[in-house]
């Protein structure tokens, strides 16, 4: 799951993107590294603050990552393909954890006892998830909280790193 915003509403963000295109490759690399070092903890903290269950923490907060390029900062969560203990893959199962599930869904199947008698078993297979909510419970609220701060951090980090590199030369 990744989110993005448009830079057309911000002159500062447009200036950062234009400046990054003109920088030397080594300078741009330093800026990307510094930006990631500053933004990663802020993003992870924002996602972790919005979790309320261990499942949300494991699937969404523990997998929160940031990808920084010359033109954007991408906020990710549950994008890793690594399987958690128990067999759950965050990249495949984040939907139910983030957006919840229908609570009235029941699944019935036939089972057989040890003595051979057949009977029906009814399970509420989605009952452990929160009720369905289109706006999400964890990542989407975290994105809404953190995007203005991350945009400001990106601009500040780019300017500060550029000036630090100029002073060294």
Both 34 and 117 in one domain: the answer is no
pLDDT < 70 regions, the chain: 1-5, 169
In total, how many domains does the chain have? 2
Token readout for 78 is 């549950």
Report the residue count for the chain.
169
Domain span holding position 154: 2-100+136-168
Contacts of 77 (CB under 8 A, 6+ apart): 1, 47, 60, 61, 63, 64, 65, 94, 138, 139
Both 91 and 9 in one domain: the answer is yes
Global model pTM greater than 0.85: no
Both 65 and 124 in one domain: the answer is no
Give 145's DSSP letter. H
Both 30 and 57 in one domain: the answer is yes
Both 35 and 105 in one domain: the answer is no
Both 93 and 105 in one domain: the answer is no
Hey, which residues does 75 pair with through a beta bridge?
Answer: 3, 66
Token readout for 46 is 């924002």
Both 96 and 107 in one domain: the answer is no
Both 110 and 159 in one domain: the answer is no
Both 73 and 44 in one domain: the answer is yes
């Amino acid at each position: 799951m990744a989110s993005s915003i448009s830079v057309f509403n911000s002159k500062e963000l447009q200036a950062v993107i234009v400046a990054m295109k003109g920088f030397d490759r080594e300078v741009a690399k330093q800026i990307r590294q510094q930006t990631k070092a500053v933004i990663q903890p802020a993003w992870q903290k924002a996602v972790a603050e919005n979790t309320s269950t261990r499942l949300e923490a494991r699937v969404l907060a523990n997998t929160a990552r940031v990808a920084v390029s010359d033109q954007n900062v991408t906020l990710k969560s549950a994008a890793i393909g690594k399987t958690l203990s128990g067999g759950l893959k965050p990249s495949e199962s984040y939907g139910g954890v983030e957006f919840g599930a229908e609570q009235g869904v029941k699944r019935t199947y036939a089972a057989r006892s040890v003595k051979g008698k057949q009977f029906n078993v009814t399970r509420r297979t989605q009952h452990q998830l929160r009720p369905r909510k289109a706006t999400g419970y964890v990542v989407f609220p975290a994105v809404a909280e953190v995007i203005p701060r991350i945009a400001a951090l990106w601009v500040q980090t780019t300017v500060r790193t550029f000036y630090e590199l100029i002073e060294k030369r």
